[in-house]
Amino acid sequence: MDQDSHCTAERELLEAVSRITTSSTTNPSDEEENQPKAEISCQVRKENPEKDDMQDSSATLSPNSSMTTKELQEYWRNEKRQCKQIKLLFEIPSTRIVEHHLSKYVMYKIIILQTGSFDSNKSVIERRYSDFEKLHRNLLEEFSEELEDVTFPKKTLTGNFTEEIINERKLAFKDYLRLLYSMKYIRRSKKFIDFLTRPELQEAYGCLRGGQYTKALEILLEVIGLQERLTRGNPVAVVPTLCAIVVCHKDLENPASAFEYGEKALSRLCVHTSHRYYMPLLETMIALAYELGKDFLSLQEKLEEWKTKKDPIRVFTLKELAVREYIR
């Protein structure tokens, strides 16, 4: 490509990026307001996480002539992705009957995936009727008005394990989850998010406390994607899970992977330095950086800065914090 063609291509890209940026910052829809911007720089958020869900910093990388054509193309792709609404789809394709000595119940397999494109990171969980029933009861305490017209499948005295009843409930629970997710305040509520993630997280942390780091890591890596999607407006919410992944990788002697997830967690705490995980995470990251031969001076400076601002109090290590999560 000659110089004139190259300049023309860059100008066209700049104009396209400008149009995309303008359309993504003018009159955004409810869903677009809550999409996290590309993590090019640390976004400033208010300390109230609930307001984080309603308001994002508008600071993004401004396209300029110093960017190469390749960088402009990547920036354009990122901006286009931010313009798309990301929604989740719930499917219940199958069930299984579980029998114990004194109990018998049906487990419903729930597949949660992103709509609009092929989703290679779909999440698969299982819940039983009593789990759905508990969720509905808990939501009614807070969202009775929103749920007044929502019909929940009732228990029957007989026939709960017939194919007909099970199929009816599969469809009913699928519609129920879709309806809940369509309601903004319900899908953001802790009760709804806990229903979809807490059992798996409890199992993972139980394995971590028992020293079963491989099993804990397997579960945590399965659930982190779903947890991030459900808490898009409040990225700090996934910090404990990211830190638990760091602990598992570290104890499994995978320092590079531990450092990678530690960076993800630290980026979410850049303006939340009072968070209980901030200092223990910094200390762990310094040790990992030293082990990997990476620059740890900037991390050390942040740690010293934190210490000068805070009163000297006992701080748990990252592992000590992790093993305390999800204790019943």
Q: Model confidence over 202-223: pLDDT tens digits?
A: 999 999 999 999 999 999 999 9
Cβ atoms within 10 A of the Cβ of 21, count? 19
Bridge partners of 233, per DSSP, are: none
Is 61 inside a domain boundary? Answer: no
pLDDT (average), residues 115-126? 79
Helix (H) or strand (E) holding 71: helix 69-83
Look up residue 88 and give its amino acid.
L
**258 and 170 together in one domain:** no
Q: What is the CATH number of the domain that holds 114?
A: 3.30.1520.10
Cβ pair 242, 325 in contact under 8 A:
no
**142 and 222 together in one domain:** no
Whole-angstrom distance, CA of residue 111 vs CA of residue 215: 21
Whole-angstrom distance, CA of residue 103 vs CA of residue 161: 13
Whole-angstrom distance, CA of residue 189 vs CA of residue 230: 10
Q: What is the CATH number of the domain that holds 279?
A: 1.25.40.10
Total count of domains within the chain: 2
pLDDT (average), residues 288-292? 96
Is 23 inside a domain boundary? Answer: no
pLDDT (average), residues 181-187? 94
Is 37 inside a domain boundary? Answer: no
**225 and 284 together in one domain:** yes
**94 and 112 together in one domain:** yes
Residue with the larger pLDDT of the pair 191 and 115:
191
Is 52 inside a domain boundary? Answer: no
pLDDT above 90 (res 236): yes
Share of the chain above pLDDT 90, in %: 58
Is 306 inside a domain boundary? Answer: yes
Whole-angstrom distance, CA of residue 174 vs CA of residue 164: 16
Question: Rounded to the nearest 10 degrees, what angle do helices 69-83 and 3-25 cross at?
Answer: 20
What is the per-residue pLDDT for 68? 60
pTM above 0.75, yes or no: no
Residue 184's domain comprises 88-188
CB under 8 Å to 154, separation ≥6 — which residues? none
